[in-house]
Amino acid sequence: MNQNVDQRIATVTSEDLTAVFRSSGRLSPEERLGQLEITPVGTGQMADTVRCILTDPVPSRIPASCVVKLPVGEGQTALTARTAGVYDRELRFYQELLPELSGLQCPEFFGSFLVDGEPALVLEDIRDAVPSNQILGAVGHQPRLAVDQLVNIQARWWNDEAFGAQDWLQRRAGAPIPDRRRRYLAAWDKVKDTVAAELEPGAAEVIEEFGHACDAWSQSYDGPFTLAHHDYRLDNMLFADDRVWLLDWQTLGWGPPSWDLAYFIGSSLSVEQRRSSESELVVRHARQLRDAGIEGWTDEVAWNSYRAMAYSTLLLTMPAAGELRSNERAKRMFTAMWNRTAAMARDLESHEFLTAAKPQESPAC
């Protein structure tokens, strides 16, 4: 086992979980949890996740196991995550927003405790669900299940300017972000030689062209806005039968309604599957929003917005690929997502939205 993972596991104690379940009212002040069996279940770019199995008899109010999502402990990834406030953002999602989002399917949130000054989240362990495979892509009814959840994220605060003005919500479109273009191009320069052999013909050209235009493209978006996951893809979902649970809200923000839709379809469906199903999925999403009371989001508006947001995967993932910790799986994952996104941008002639954007740069460029 990796030494860093061993060190992170050691930060989880029965005292921490006892305090969490006492705070939630599931344990009385006199009750405490005993021994834990802790195993790693995932190592993402900005978090380590472990499963905690309670080995001693526990009250029926306590689950037999739970999942703890731990902040990364060291290195450039830890610095990037803390600077971006990702751990506090995800905590605020579970504490403040999830109770307001009727119908949204997420693991139950039990509480949090601090590790190195950052919140570790204690979540429901959904044992009958399995993670999907970002590299292979969506299968069966997974695309429909994922798209059907978007209305539950987006309708509640649609175009609510007061809500969207909160500074803890990330903005990746419609506002300047210092160093965006420089960071994108620096990351691409760092990784392009290592992924060149895995990129499909023409993909590198799409990636680089967007890098030079990314700031103008992003700032040119003028609405509508709504709550956005921003990293809405298979690796951040669990599936079981006809249900999906949404995970990883560290990049939560205020953005275009089509960001998550285009991000998911473009990054998580094979090229052939996307080509055969994207029209139906875009219309399905638009109709669900109208059924929820959203006005003006016609099928035509939805389709053009979807085409414009075809580059969303590149804007989020390229800086991450250059700045966050990586491994062979992460490299394969990013390459698969970039190949699909490049094909999507070409198929939808999304270049139109790069040339239409105003030629401006972020202040630090």
Residues 98 and 194 in one domain: no
Residues 112 and 238 in one domain: no
Cα–Cα dist 226/158, whole Å:
5
Q: Report the pLDDT value the prediction gives residue 364, as an integer from 0 to 100.
A: 39
> To 10 degrees, the CA torsion angle through 365, 185, 181, 312?
180
Q: What is the CA radius of gyration of the chain?
A: 21
Q: What is the CATH number of the domain that holds 93?
A: 3.30.200.20
User: What letter does residue 173 receive in the DSSP assignment?
Assistant: S
Q: What is the pLDDT of residues 180-212, one digit of tens each?
A: 999 999 999 999 999 999 999 999 999 999 999
Take residue 255 and report the two structure tokens written for it. 């953005």
Q: Which of 83, 108, 124 is the last residue of a domain?
A: 124
Q: What is the CATH number of the domain that holds 160?
A: 3.90.1200.10
Q: What is the pLDDT of residues 299-315, one digit of tens each?
A: 999 999 999 999 999 99
> To 10 degrees, the CA torsion angle through 158, 163, 168, 173?
40
Cα–Cα dist 149/50, whole Å:
26
* Domain assignment present for 192: yes
With b for 16 or more beta-carbon neighbours within 10 A and e for fewer, the 259-282 pattern comes to bbbbbbbbbbbbbebbeebbeebb
User: Structural domain of residue 24, as residue ranges?
Assistant: 3-124
Q: Which of 103, 124, 145 is the last residue of a domain?
A: 124
Residues 339 and 202 in one domain: yes
pTM score, two decimals?
A: 0.93
**In angstroms, what CA-CA distances link 114 with 98, 101, 151, 212?**
21, 26, 33, 40
Greatest alpha-carbon span in the chain: 66
Residues 323 and 191 in one domain: yes
- Residues (pLDDT < 50) of the chain are 1-3, 360-365
* Domain assignment present for 119: yes
Q: Report the pLDDT value the prediction gives residue 77, as an integer from 0 to 100.
A: 66
Take residue 301 and report the two structure tokens written for it. 């508006």
Residues 245 and 338 in one domain: yes
* Domain assignment present for 361: no
* Domain assignment present for 213: yes
The total number of structural domains that make up the chain: 2
Q: Which of 124, 156, 175 is the last residue of a domain?
A: 124
Q: Report the pLDDT value the prediction gives residue 130, as an integer from 0 to 100.
A: 81
Among 140, 120, 115, residue whose Cα is nearest residue 244: 140
Residues 53 and 142 in one domain: no
